[in-house]
Chain A
Amino acid sequence: MSPAATLAAAATTGPGFLSPTGVEIAFVLVGLATLGAALVTVTTKQLVHAALWLVVALGGIAVEYLLLTAEFIAWVQVLIYLGSVVVLLLFGLMLTKAPIGRSPDADSGNRWIALGVAVVAAASLVWVVVDAFRTTWIDLDGPVQGSTKVSGEILFQHWVLPFEALSVLLLAALIGAIVLSRRNDPADASDKGQR
């Protein structure tokens, strides 16, 4: 885009859809790649490939966060999802059943219902996001809006109650997992000794 066109766009209505900037084009392209990876994740017949395509999809979302200047959220996304959740997923797959090649039985009779639920969920999410941020534009030249400092201040000033409620929920899940994995039945004591 030439400087003159930039000036003209800025002079009329600010940012518009007809003169996309480089960042906007990159955002759309990464979004398409993420969507493609997500589709392959749910349609591939190779279980471990599905997990690895999930890595691509989650990484694409991290790049989108970066392009939206939410740097902190992006790295947390990489840390939690790519570094931990996917590793846990692959660990579980390897422990149970991870054949090389296609698994013909990796299919579900509920695929059409699942598709319906996915479409409805996606539609409602897209509608909510579009409705909430309809006229908001990020000023890329100004101060970073998603830095650690800003995120921390917002999280611990405006959203501290949901944050604490979530941590209580996670604690409950943690204790539940410990209770479930403990065996108090004396008959199992010998079995436990062998592990």
Chain B
Amino acid sequence: MNDVLDVALRLIVVFAVFLVLPLVVGQTEHKVMAHMQGRLGPMYAGGFHGWAQLVADGVKFAQKEDIVPAGADRRIFQLAPAVALLPYLLVLLAIPIGPGEGAVGQVIDAGLFFVLAVMGVGVLGSLMAGWASANKFSLLGGLRTAAQLLAYELPMLLAAASVAMAAGTVSLPGIVEAFAWWWLPWQIVGALVFFTAGLAELQRPPFDMPVADSEIIFGAYTEYTGLRFALFLLAEYAGIVVLCFLTTVLFLGGWHGPFGAHDIGWVWTLLKTAILAFVVIWLRVSYPRLREDQLQKLAWTTLIPLALAQIALTGIVKVAIQ
């Protein structure tokens, strides 16, 4: 009975994190963007600093009519948001925020493979949405999504493989356990490649060509309204949370900090994740959108050679220190 209770408790906690953190990131994005760009809109609702903006957004989405276009493939159109969102929930299960068994949803032996594999599945949701909407802009958005995933999956995997080589394990708690401070300069190139490729996989600016509003309205999500559209947005924010957690765990030492790694380790993890999430938002307001050919060129001629060089460096250092 205790085991069942334990599993249930872990699932509830992970689900709560899944529901809360993306919304926190969303609210932060509202505020940070408002400050950086001098936007007045998000600062108004509710009074002090526009604290109720997120609530107002939620009410707006819930009120909107749920429309399925007449020419659409009904079932796939309706299924797509769930396929886009659920993988991120599964990934959160495997991410350790502190040392020991108590601070991770489920210890998975091949955790690194698990998170990268399941994150890759999420893009199927965008593809399904783009195809099933019966809209040429949606289809173009779906195509761009697929091309982007194919280009950026490889550097992401290579950068992650470099860390796995350095740690000698593919288990996420094992990687953080093996971390030492000098990994930071050693793996810095891999970290940058991983973070950039992750941003591109989430279609965050400056890699938001698949949803470029000036060309193809909103890409694969053009025909969506109401709660289903909100689910796609939630998937994007959940993706930011997962990417920042992963970068923290793989490259920034997770729960290691200047002091108190074993008592307040989870604070360090959350702090690093929050800083990375801020950087994601910051990049959105500071960089213009890359054109489609620039996107592909960046992946194939810059990120992949950098990731391969990082793997070579990791191998050389690894052999040298043994």
A residues whose Cβ falls under 8 Å from a Cβ of B:
48-49, 52, 55, 71-72, 75-76, 78-79, 82-84, 86-88, 90-91, 94-95, 98, 100-101, 144, 147-148
Contacts and interface: CB of A to CB of B under 8 A. Distances in A.
Contacts of B128: 52
Given A52-B128, A86-B124, A94-B131, A76 B150 contact: no
A87 B150 contact: yes
Contacts, number: 84
A48 B128 CA distance: 9
Contact of B153 (A84, A95, A144, A148): A84
A75 B121 contact: no
Interface string B205-216: 000000000000
A87 B123 contact: yes
B267 interface: no
Given A71-B108, A147-B109, A148-B170, A83 B153 contact: yes
A147 B110 CA distance: 8
Interface stretch (B41-49, B68-76, B177-185, B308-316): B68-76
A94 B109 contact: no
Contact of A91 (B76, B118, B150, B153): B150
B54 interface: no
Contacts of B157: 79
Nearest to A48: B131
B109 A100 contact: no
B117 A71 contact: no
Given A75-B114, A94-B146, A148-B170, A84 B131 contact: no
A160 to B, nearest CB: 17
A82 B117 contact: yes
A88 B127 CA distance: 11
B131 A90 contact: yes
A144 B139 CA distance: 44
Interface of B: 71-73, 76, 108-110, 113-114, 116-118, 120-121, 123-124, 127-128, 130-132, 134, 139, 142-143, 146-147, 149-150, 153, 157, 169-171
A76 B123 CA distance: 17
Given A75-B114, A148-B109, 10 more contacts: A49-B76, A79-B117, A79-B157, A83-B121, A87-B124, A87-B146, A88-B146, A91-B143, A100-B132, A147-B109
Contacts of A148: 109-110, 113, 169-171
B146 A91 contact: yes
B123 A94 contact: no
Contacts of B118: 78
A52 to B, nearest CB: 7
14 contacts: A71-B109, A71-B110, A72-B109, A75-B113, A76-B113, A78-B121, A79-B157, A82-B117, A87-B120, A88-B146, A91-B146, A91-B147, A100-B131, A100-B134
A177 B290 CA distance: 27
Contact of B121 (A82, A95, A101): A82
A39 B123 CA distance: 25
The 10 closest A-B CB pairs, nearest first, are A83-B120, A79-B117, A75-B113, A91-B146, A78-B117, A72-B110, A148-B110, A75-B117, A100-B73, A147-B109
Contact of B71 (A75, A78, A87, A100): A100
Contacts of A94: 127, 130-131, 139, 142-143, 146
B116 A79 contact: yes
A62 to B, nearest CB: 9
**Most central of A52, A55, A98, A147 by chain B CB within 10 Å:** A52
A55 B142 contact: no
Contacts of B153: 83-84
A195 to B, nearest CB: 10
Contacts of A52: 76, 128
A100 B72 contact: yes
A82 B150 contact: no
Nearest to B108: A71
